[in-house]
Amino acid sequence: MQSIENKIEKSIKSKPKGSLVMPGDYKAYGSSDAVRKALDRLEDKKIIVRIAHGIYVRPKISELIGPILPTAEEVAEAIARRDKIRTVPTGSYALNALGLSTQIPMNIVLLTDGSPREIKIGKRTIKFKKTTPKNLLAKGKISRLVIQALKEIGNGKVSAKEEQKILHLLKEEDQKHLAHDIALAPVWIQKIMKKALINE
């Protein structure tokens, strides 16, 4: 009989380096307590590195700097996948994701339909903020970021250069998704986004 620890270790070693590991991945292997203890022991053996409460990674190892840990963005995505929650990046995180700001935000704020919580990853913080379902209805990957980024910039404060960049990005968006998402935005944002519709 293989021990829980051996089974989990084998499973982790079959994953690509850089993969995130969470106790919930191994529910089928034993009780949550047994899984947690096994993960603690695998951490002691340097098979995985704990990056936050209940979140580990099979690290990529660089000869120069040692273990390379995932970014806060990658962790946020993994949590959303694990918990099957919807999230939308907001504020400076949305601006950065669209390339409208080069500043990497120390705090990532995500609107979510999941439970609100805060997770520290190194010096950065991921904050899941409960929101109304309407804020999560946007279908387009680009258009939902654009709505949040424009809200962050503010009505009347969008420069011509920013608007050009946004319209250029929105032209890559699926037109059906774009038309759907425009209807969800505040009126002043709708006016900007409509310029990206091909039949306008």
- CA neighbor of 25 nearest in space, from 1, 51, 47, 7: 7
What are the pLDDT digits (tens) for 72-130?
Answer: 888 998 889 888 999 999 999 999 999 999 988 899 999 999 999 999 988 899 999 99
The single residue listed with the structure tokens 């306008």 is: 200
Mean local confidence (pLDDT), 38-58: 93
- CA neighbor of 188 nearest in space, from 153, 139, 140: 153
Mean pLDDT for the chain? Answer: 92
Specify the pLDDT at position 95: 95
Specify the pLDDT at position 36: 95
Specify the pLDDT at position 2: 72
Question: Is the pLDDT reported for residue 26 higher than 60?
Answer: yes
Specify the pLDDT at position 116: 95
What are the pLDDT digits (tens) for 119-168?
Answer: 998 889 999 999 998 889 999 999 999 999 999 999 999 999 999 999 99
Structural domains of the chain in order of their starting residue, each with its CATH number: 4-68 (1.10.10), 71-134 (no CATH), 137-200 (no CATH)
Specify the pLDDT at position 189: 97
Specify the pLDDT at position 1: 55
Strand order in the sheet with 87-89: 87-89, 107-112, 124-130, 117-121
Question: Is the pLDDT reported for residue 63 higher than 80?
Answer: yes
pTM, two decimals, is 0.79
Integer Cα distance of 2 and 8 in angstroms: 10
